[in-house]
């Protein structure tokens, strides 16, 4: 479907033309007309589907209609991370380049004085993390009495990260007569409960079944011992000549350690996580996008906000703490019509977490054991499960029988020279 038949103004169509956008994505076909209807919306859409344009274009269209050269907050978009805040704000600037509207991005770690000055000069659209927005509201740096649109983007992440109290306080300050739009990659129970409390006459939009991932992303599991993960990671990147790779890890300390090891192996690597300054994270992202570094290691705080259209390979060093974050991680690839590859390194102790991911996806992920990195515990685990099954058949289940401890056989780990720099 062409954007030209969705009721968008010539100014917006020209901005889309400048970006090379011609056809609306499935979520945009559903979301744009729904927003024009004025109803509250709960939309389930994966990352990389064009959902930002789905809510940004109608907001820009409607606000520009009644614009009378008075800049005050009319639309608020709340996001979970500063990376996503920057990305969404940039989209509003791009799509609204021919319109008289002003937008601003707010998040912590930035000089609040400059933000106050910008707010007082007048803005129409505010993209912000919940904490910084609430801070401005409580300090009376911003008036939200004229807000017509509230968008909760990545609502599931906002709830998972524990920001629900901040969001609730913000909602209590907004006028009742507004349009609410909740966007979420997974329609979890917590998201639906919040939607039930806040949304009225809800229009439910589900373009893809929740948990389904982009069809252009091929997923594969590589079983490996935990102690060999970093070595296998280097081997995969070097031997397969992956040019640009985004690696996700759960912990900040581990992210630093993995990045250090990759650099030692000749793979130019940077890292971003919550302990890095805003400037350091920006530099790492810029270097990665410009091809100055080959690998970017990131914690899940970055999973929701990264937009790298040409990224072809994502590697999960481990399974994320929150099962749904797996979808957001691999959603960084397979974008803009390009095929992507999502690799996950799984140690034996992560098998249970993997089953949760596969249950969310509704399918099994293909497995491929890399020669030389076979998890030696696999056969032992099989024997343990068999003994447990046999013992359950006896009276008293495990009874008083002594259970033999399972001893993992140690094997020598050899470094492979030269492949990291290929």
Last residue of a domain, one of 206, 230, 259: 206
Q: Kindly state whether residues 181 and 236 are assigned to the same domain.
A: no
Query: Does residue 171 sit within a domain?
Result: yes
Query: Does residue 34 sit within a domain?
Result: yes
∠ at Cα 46 (40, 51), nearest 5°?
50
Q: Is the pLDDT of residue 385 over 50?
A: no
Q: Kindly state whether residues 128 and 108 are assigned to the same domain.
A: yes
Any alpha helices (H) in 125-243, and if so which ranges?
130-138, 155-160, 164-173, 189-198, 229-239
In this prediction, residue 323 carries a pLDDT of 81
Query: Does residue 390 sit within a domain?
Result: no
Q: Kindly state whether residues 278 and 327 are assigned to the same domain.
A: yes
Is the Cβ–Cβ distance between 269 and 263 less than 8 Å?
Answer: yes
Q: Kindly state whether residues 202 and 225 are assigned to the same domain.
A: no
Q: Is the pLDDT of residue 62 over 80?
A: yes
In this prediction, residue 337 carries a pLDDT of 65
Helix crossing, 252-264 with 229-239: angle to 10°? 50
Q: Is the pLDDT of residue 196 over 60?
A: yes
- What CA–CA distance (Å, rounded) separates 379 from 276? 41
In this prediction, residue 390 carries a pLDDT of 52
User: Which candidate, 365, 300, 347, 263, places its Cα nearest to that of 161?
Assistant: 300
Query: Does residue 341 sit within a domain?
Result: yes
pLDDT tens-digit series, residues 205-253: 877 544 444 567 899 999 999 999 999 999 999 999 999 999 999 999 9
Q: How crowded is residue 292: how many other Cβ atoms within 10 Å of its Cβ?
A: 12
pLDDT tens-digit series, residues 329-340: 888 887 766 789
Q: If you search the block for the tokens 């970006």, which residue do you land on?
A: 19
In this prediction, residue 344 carries a pLDDT of 97
In this prediction, residue 57 carries a pLDDT of 97
**Considering its fold, how many domains does the chain have in total?**
2
CB-based burial of residue 365 (10 Å sphere; 0-12 exposed, 13-18 middle, 19+ buried)? Answer: middle
Last residue of a domain, one of 179, 206, 233: 206
**pLDDT greater at residue 209 or residue 70:** 70
pLDDT tens-digit series, residues 17-47: 998 888 888 889 999 999 999 999 999 876 6
pLDDT tens-digit series, residues 76-112: 999 988 888 998 999 999 999 999 999 999 998 778 9
pLDDT band at 171 (very low <50, low <70, confident <90, very high): very high
Is the Cβ–Cβ distance between 319 and 350 less than 8 Å?
Answer: yes
Q: Kindly state whether residues 267 and 198 are assigned to the same domain.
A: no
Q: Kindly state whether residues 44 and 121 are assigned to the same domain.
A: yes
Query: Does residue 404 sit within a domain?
Result: no
**Rounded mean pLDDT of 268-291?**
87
Last residue of a domain, one of 180, 206, 232: 206
Q: Kindly state whether residues 187 and 298 are assigned to the same domain.
A: no
- The residue ranges of DSSP E strands in 269-339, in sequence order, are 269-272, 295-298, 313-316
Q: Kindly state whether residues 292 and 249 are assigned to the same domain.
A: yes
pLDDT band at 157 (very low <50, low <70, confident <90, very high): confident
Q: If you search the block for the tokens 């410009």, which residue do you land on?
A: 290
Q: Kindly state whether residues 232 and 92 are assigned to the same domain.
A: no
Judged by average pLDDT, the poorest of 50-54, 247-251, 281-285, 378-382 is: 378-382
Query: Does residue 394 sit within a domain?
Result: no
Q: Is the pLDDT of residue 184 over 70?
A: yes
* pTM higher than 0.95: no
Q: Is the pLDDT of residue 275 over 90?
A: no
Mean pLDDT of the chain: 84
- What CA–CA distance (Å, rounded) separates 133 from 317? 34
Range of the domain at 236: 217-376+412-421
Q: Kindly state whether residues 184 and 225 are assigned to the same domain.
A: no
Query: Does residue 111 sit within a domain?
Result: yes
In this prediction, residue 121 carries a pLDDT of 93
pLDDT band at 313 (very low <50, low <70, confident <90, very high): very high
Q: Kindly state whether residues 50 and 108 are assigned to the same domain.
A: yes
In this prediction, residue 215 carries a pLDDT of 63
44 sits in which H/E element: strand 41-44
Which CATH number fits the domain that encloses residue 230? 3.40.50.300
**pLDDT greater at residue 301 or residue 341:** 341
Q: Is the pLDDT of residue 53 over 90?
A: yes
Query: Does residue 392 sit within a domain?
Result: no
Q: Is the pLDDT of residue 408 over 80?
A: no
Q: Kindly state whether residues 267 and 371 are assigned to the same domain.
A: yes
């Amino acid at each position: 479907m062409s954007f030209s038949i969705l009721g968008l103004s010539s100014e917006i169509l020209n901005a889309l033309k400048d970006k090379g956008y011609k056809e609306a994505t499935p979520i945009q076909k559903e979301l744009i007309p729904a927003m024009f209807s004025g109803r509250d919306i709960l939309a389930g859409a994966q990352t990389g589907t064009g959902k930002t344009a789905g809510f940004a274009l109608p907001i820009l269209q409607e606000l520009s209609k009644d614009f009378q050269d008075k800049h005050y907050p009319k639309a608020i978009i709340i996001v979970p991370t500063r990376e996503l805040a920057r990305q969404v704000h940039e989209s509003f600037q791009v799509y609204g380049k021919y319109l008289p509207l002003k937008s601003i991005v707010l998040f912590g770690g930035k000089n609040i004085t400059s933000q106050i000055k910008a707010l007082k000069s007048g803005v129409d659209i505010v993209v912000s993390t919940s904490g910084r927005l609430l801070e401005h509201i409580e300090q009376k740096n911003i008036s939200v009495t004229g807000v017509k649109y509230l968008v909760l983007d990545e609502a599931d992440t906002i709830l998972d990260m524990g920001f629900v109290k901040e969001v609730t306080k913000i909602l209590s300050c907004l006028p009742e007569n507004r349009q609410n739009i909740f966007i979420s990659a997974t329609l979890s129970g917590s998201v639906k409960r919040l939607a039930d409390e806040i949304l009225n006459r809800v229009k439910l939009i589900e373009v893809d079944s929740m948990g389904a991932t982009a069809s252009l992303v091929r997923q594969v599991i590589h079983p490996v011992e935990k102690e060999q993960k970093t070595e296998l990671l280097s081997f995969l990147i070097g031997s397969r000549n992956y040019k640009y790779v985004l690696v996700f890890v759960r912990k900040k300390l581990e992210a630093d350690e993995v990045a250090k090891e990759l650099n030692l192996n000749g793979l130019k690597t940077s890292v971003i996580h919550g302990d890095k300054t805003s400037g350091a994270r920006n530099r790492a992202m810029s270097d990665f996008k410009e091809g100055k570094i080959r690998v970017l290691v990131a914690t899940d705080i970055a999973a929701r906000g990264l937009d790298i259209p040409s990224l072809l390979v994502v590697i999960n060093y481990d399974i994320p703490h929150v099962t749904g974050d797996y979808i957001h991680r691999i959603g960084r690839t397979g974008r803009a019509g390009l095929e992507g590859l999502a690799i996950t390194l799984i140690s034996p102790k992560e098998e249970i977490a993997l089953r949760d991911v596969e249950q969310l996806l509704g399918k099994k992920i293909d497995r491929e054991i890399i020669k030389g990195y076979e998890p030696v515990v696999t056969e032992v685990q099989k024997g343990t499960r068999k003994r447990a099954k046999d013992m359950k058949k006896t009276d008293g289940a495990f009874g008083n029988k002594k259970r033999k401890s399972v001893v993992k056989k140690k094997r020598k780990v050899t470094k492979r020279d030269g492949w990291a720099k290929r």
